[in-house]
């Protein structure tokens, strides 16, 4: 029996066009209409689709089972922005700003592709894990520049929308998302605070971004520890799913510091 993971991986990797990918994802969703991961991936494809194959009903259906997730409303906002639907755009931004959580399902993708590779008989190894990471990197990421520009151009009289853009920025900066999306969140916050000349908060955001960058630089140094061990690599991939890219990187940095302080730790040992 072909699993959901294998079907999804095949749909993404075998499709030659965006249209083909969208058609295959819609077919998968017919079999699993409540699958939040599949619906999010379809939304992502619809946002970057230049042929405008996704109707509003498709977008709304994909959001239905994940309404408390700011990430799906961000995608809807981008969709409405692309289609010049100003009222629906505003509604989507407000929904995103006030959502209970944010999850872009980026971390889930590691598990999906890792499982798909395992199911076709590839032995667990560093090579198989790196293949899964490469497949995740090939997934579409919706561009944020139009949404940031929209928030940047708001008039001071549009108080509710300015506040919603600020809250949206906080969702992205501090929620379970990718590092790139964290940075996009900071950009949104900065644009709002610049409008009101809030230098104190701008300085705080600058320091937060510096700490984020420092963590990711340390993570790059720690990858030599990470990929020597099956357990550490698997744990890192799981952390991506549970807490997002930044917190997963922080975990690996802390683990590397702990191991380097252990006199019995062999940094050259390969455990696969």
Q: Where are the domains of the chain?
A: 4-66, 143-260
Residues pairing with 103 in the sheet: 176
* Total-model pTM: 0.90
Q: Are 119 and 5 in contact (CB under 8 A)?
A: yes
Name the residue among 188, 87, 171, 178 with its Cα closest to residue 139.
178
> What pLDDT sits at residue 4?
85
pLDDT at position 120 is: 86
Closest to 58 (Cα-Cα) out of 46, 72, 75: 46
CB atoms closer than 10 angstroms to residue 217: 12
For residues 39 and 65, is the Cβ–Cβ distance under 8 A? yes
| Fold designation for 4-66 | 1.25.40
Query: At 69, phi and psi to the nearest 5?
Result: -100, 115
How far from 18 is each of 24, 62, 88, 148, CA to CA, in Å? Answer: 10, 17, 24, 25
What is the Cα–Cα distance from 73 to 86, expressed in whole angstroms? 14
Residue 205, pLDDT score: 98
3-state secondary structure of 242: helix
26-32 CB contacts, 8 Å cutoff, 24+ apart: 26/58, 28/4, 29/62, 32/4
- Cβ–Cβ < 8 Å for 78, 142: yes
Strand partners, 184: none
Task: Walk along the chain (272 residues) and give the pLDDT tens digit of each residue.
Answer: 468 888 999 899 889 888 899 999 999 999 999 999 999 999 999 998 877 778 888 899 999 989 999 999 999 999 999 999 999 999 999 999 999 999 999 889 988 999 999 988 899 888 898 899 889 888 878 788 899 999 999 999 999 999 999 999 999 999 888 899 999 999 999 999 998 999 999 999 999 999 999 999 999 999 988 999 999 999 998 898 888 899 999 999 999 999 999 999 998 888 88
Only one residue has tokens 């409540």, namely: 34
Would you state the pLDDT for residue 2? 63
Which of these, 27, 46, 48, 25, lies nearest to 37 by C-alpha position? 25
Q: Which of 145, 237, 75 is nearest to 153 (CA)?
A: 145
SS3 call for 5: helix
Query: What DSSP character marks residue 85?
Result: -
């Amino acid at each position: 029996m072909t699993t959901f993971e294998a079907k999804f991986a095949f749909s993404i990797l075998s499709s030659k066009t965006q249209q083909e990918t969208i058609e295959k994802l819609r077919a998968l969703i017919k079999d699993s209409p409540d699958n939040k991961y599949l619906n999010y991936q379809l939304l992502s494809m619809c946002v970057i689709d230049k042929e405008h194959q996704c109707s509003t009903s498709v977008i709304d259906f994909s959001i239905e089972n994940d309404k408390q997730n700011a990430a799906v409303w961000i995608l809807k906002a981008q969709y409405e922005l692309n289609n010049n639907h100003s009222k629906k755009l505003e509604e989507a931004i407000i929904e995103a700003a006030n959502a209970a959580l944010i999850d872009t399902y980026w971390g889930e993708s590691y598990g999906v592709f890792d499982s798909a590779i395992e199911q076709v008989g590839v032995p667990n190894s560093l090579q198989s894990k790196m293949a899964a990471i490469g497949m995740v990197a090939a997934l579409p990421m919706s561009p944020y520049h139009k949404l940031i520009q929209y928030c940047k151009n708001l008039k001071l009289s549009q108080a509710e929308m300015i506040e919603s853009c600020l809250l949206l920025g906080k969702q992205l900066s501090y929620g379970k998302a990718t590092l790139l999306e964290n940075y996009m969140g900071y950009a949104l916050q900065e644009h709002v605070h610049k409008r009101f000349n809030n230098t104190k908060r701008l300085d705080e955001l600058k320091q937060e971004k510096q700490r984020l960058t420092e963590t990711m630089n340390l993570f790059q140094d720690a990858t030599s520890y990470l990929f020597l061990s099956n357990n550490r690599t698997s744990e890192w991939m799981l952390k991506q799913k549970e807490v997002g890219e930044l917190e997963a990187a922080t975990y690996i940095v802390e683990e590397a510091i702990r191991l380097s302080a252990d006199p019995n730790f062999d940094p050259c040992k390969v455990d696969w």
